[in-house]
Amino acid sequence: MDREEIRKRLAMGSDDYYIEKFSHRTDMQGKLHSGASLRICFMNETMSDTDSPNSNSESPEDDFIQLKPIFELAQNEKVRPTTLNIPRKSQNDTGTDVDFFTKQEKLQTEVRIALVQAKEMARMQMQIERQLQKKSPISELIRGSLEKIGISFPEDKRRLSRQILTEMNIAQLQVIVNDLHSRIETLNDVLVGHLMERDDLHMEQDSMLVDIEDLTKYFSRHL
């Protein structure tokens, strides 16, 4: 068979022809050598039509390539697993998870109780501080304002009487009013500072609660 016919059969995809054509060689070699390689003929595609006539005298062995035995290829193929092994948690891990969630629930309960009691405890502390104070803050303000105009205010009194006010002139009353306004502004600034601090603490508290919730969800998914 010439090369032109071989080229045409290769283009038509008739590989079975060549396998059948050379089967008597492979059968003989299979008897002599167990598991020998199959040999198939192939056409050198890079050969041009203008090759010299001497090229036809080359040995047929040049047109064969060695392939691995079929049983070796079958052994090298990856086997798809039929089952999926999922590791199960041991009893110790389960006990650890239960212990963790128990502690977490206990801490959350304690935090909720503390948050509920915080407001009431702050009010009680403020009442105790008021009881411990011997002098009223308002009385101290009035006493300080009267001292600026040269009027003494007795320690045992906590309010201004009408008699004291009627004895004052307009200039003295104006000094007392201005001093009280300045003190009110100062106290307002202090109050604003405390309110801002309270808002910051509330925001910090909310951020902590969000972090706790995120951690709870994370551990619930991974434990």
Q: What is the dihedral of CA 51, 56, 61, 67, to 10 degrees?
A: 50
pLDDT (0 to 100) of residue 129: 81
pLDDT (0 to 100) of residue 190: 94
pLDDT (0 to 100) of residue 10: 63
Task: Show pLDDT as tens, one digit a residue, over the chain (223 residues).
Answer: 556 676 666 655 544 544 455 454 555 555 444 444 444 444 444 444 444 444 444 444 444 444 444 445 445 544 444 444 444 445 455 555 567 778 878 888 888 888 888 888 888 888 888 777 767 777 788 888 888 888 877 777 777 778 888 888 888 889 888 988 998 999 999 999 999 999 999 999 889 888 888 888 887 787 6
pLDDT (0 to 100) of residue 218: 82
pLDDT (0 to 100) of residue 96: 59
pLDDT (0 to 100) of residue 192: 96
The domains of the chain are located at 3-76, 103-133, 136-223
pLDDT (0 to 100) of residue 181: 92
Token code pair at residue 24: 């008597």
**pTM confidence score:** 0.41
